[in-house]
C-alpha cells in the first residue's frame, strides 16, 4: 500500500465550479500535511499547510481527518489559472521524511 | 522567484561523464532534500540531510552521491548514469526538527538528460 494516495483524475471542470480533492495516508503517526500545486515543467509550490482544525485561504479550504487518515482540498469558484496538478504531501516522522501523493490533475475550462 | 537556487538548469551528459548538481538556500533551513521527478509522476524522495547529516537514503543507486558541505549547500554528484536517470532533479529545503509543521521550499530543478 502506498504511503500517500490520491485520485489522479483528471478533473475537468467549468469556470466557477467547486471541486474537491482527497488524499489518504497510511501512517497514523504522520505529523504534518500540505497541499502543493505544480504547473507543467515547473517546481512544486506550496499552496497551503493543513491544520487539525481546518484552514481556509481565500477560495481554498483544507481539512484534516486524523481518525480516517485523510486530508482534503476544496476549491471554490474555480479560475482558469487553477489548472495545475495538486500534490498532497505528508511528513511521516521527525526525520523530515516527506512523501508525495501521485497528484491530481485539474483542468478548468471556460 | 524561488528562494532555493539550483544549477545548472539543464544538463546533458554521456553515460561515462561525471557531473554535479548544486543547490543553495539562505533561509536558515537545516533540512535539505533531493527528489527525482519523471514526466507525469510525482517527485520521488532520494535523500534527506538534517543538520548536514544524511538522515534518509531511499535506496538510491551509488551512481548518485549526495554531499552537504555546509548548512546552505547541497550537491548531488553524478557518475556513470543510465538513460533511465533522465529526469527533473528537484532540491528542497525546510526547517528541521521534531514536530515541525514546516513546509518545503523547492528550487526550480535541473533537467537532466543522459545520452
User: For the segment B79-107, what is each residue's pLDDT rounded down to a tens digit?
Assistant: 999 999 999 999 999 988 655 568 899 99
B48, pLDDT greater than 90: yes
Grid coordinates belonging to B15: 553515460
Q: What is the pLDDT of residue A67?
A: 93
**What whole-number distance in Å separates Cα of residue B76 and Cα of residue B11?**
13
Mean pLDDT of B43-51: 94
**What whole-number distance in Å separates Cα of residue B92 and Cα of residue A99?**
13
**What whole-number distance in Å separates Cα of residue A7 and Cα of residue A103?**
7
Q: Do A96 and B31 touch (CB under 8 A)?
A: yes
The 10 Å CB-count burial string (b at 16+, else e) for B94-107 is bbbeeeeebbbbbb
Grid coordinates belonging to B87: 529526469
**What whole-number distance in Å separates Cα of residue A107 and Cα of residue A109?**
6
Interface test with B, best of A5, A35, A96, A104 (most B CBs within 10 A): A96
- Please list, in sequence order, all residues whose beta carbon lies within 8 angstroms of the beta carbon of residue A93, skipping any fewer than 6 positions away: A27, A29, A30, A31
Which residue in chain A has the smallest CA separation from B107?
A43
A105, pLDDT greater than 90: yes
Q: Strand locations in B3-102, DSSP E?
A: 4-7, 10-13, 18-25, 31-37, 44-50, 53-57, 64-70, 73-79, 87-94
Interface test with A, best of B36, B42, B50 (most A CBs within 10 A): B42
Q: Do A96 and B56 touch (CB under 8 A)?
A: yes
Q: Do B48 and A95 touch (CB under 8 A)?
A: yes
Closest CA to A59 of A78, A33, A40, A85: A78
Do B8 and B75 contact (CB within 8 A), yes or no? Answer: no
Residue reference for cell 474537491: A20
**What whole-number distance in Å separates Cα of residue B34 and Cα of residue B68?**
11
Q: Do B102 and A32 touch (CB under 8 A)?
A: yes
Q: What is the pLDDT of residue B97?
A: 66
**What whole-number distance in Å separates Cα of residue B54 and Cα of residue B113?**
26
Q: What is the pLDDT of residue B18?
A: 94
Q: What is the pLDDT of residue B100?
A: 55
Q: Do A46 and B45 touch (CB under 8 A)?
A: no
Q: What is the pLDDT of residue A88?
A: 96
Amino acid at each position: 500500500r502506498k504511503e500517500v494516495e490520491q485520485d489522479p483524475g483528471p478533473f475537468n471542470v467549468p469556470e466557477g465550479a467547486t471541486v474537491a480533492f482527497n488524499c489518504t495516508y497510511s501512517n497514523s503517526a504522520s505529523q504534518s500535511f500540505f497541499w502543493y500545486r505544480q504547473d507543467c515543467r515547473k517546481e512544486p509550490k506550496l499552496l497551503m499547510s493543513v491544520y487539525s482544525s481546518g484552514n481556509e485561504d481565500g477560495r481554498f479550504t483544507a481539512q484534516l481527518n486524523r481518525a480516517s487518515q485523510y486530508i482534503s482540498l476544496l476549491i471554490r469558484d474555480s479560475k482558469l489559472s487553477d489548472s495545475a496538478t495538486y500534490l498532497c504531501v505528508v511528513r511521516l516522522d521527525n526525520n523530515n521524511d516527506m512523501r508525495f501523493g501521485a497528484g491530481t490533475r485539474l483542468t478548468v475550462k471556460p | 522567484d524561488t528562494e532555493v537556487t539550483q544549477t545548472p538548469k539543464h544538463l546533458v551528459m554521456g553515460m561515462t561523464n561525471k557531473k554535479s548538481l548544486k543547490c543553495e538556500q539562505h533561509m536558515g533551513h537545516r533540512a535539505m532534500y533531493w527528489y527525482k521527478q519523471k514526466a507525469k509522476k510525482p517527485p520521488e524522495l532520494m535523500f534527506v540531510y538534517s543538520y548536514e547529516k544524511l538522515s534518509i537514503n531511499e535506496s538510491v543507486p551509488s551512481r548518485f552521491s549526495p554531499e552537504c558541505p555546509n548548512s546552505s549547500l547541497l550537491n548531488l554528484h553524478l557518475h556513470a548514469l543510465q538513460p533511465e536517470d533522465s529526469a527533473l532533479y528537484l532540491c528542497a529545503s525546510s526547517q528541521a526538527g521534531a514536530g515541525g509543521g514546516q513546509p518545503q521550499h523547492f528550487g526550480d530543478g535541473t533537467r537532466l538528460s543522459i545520452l
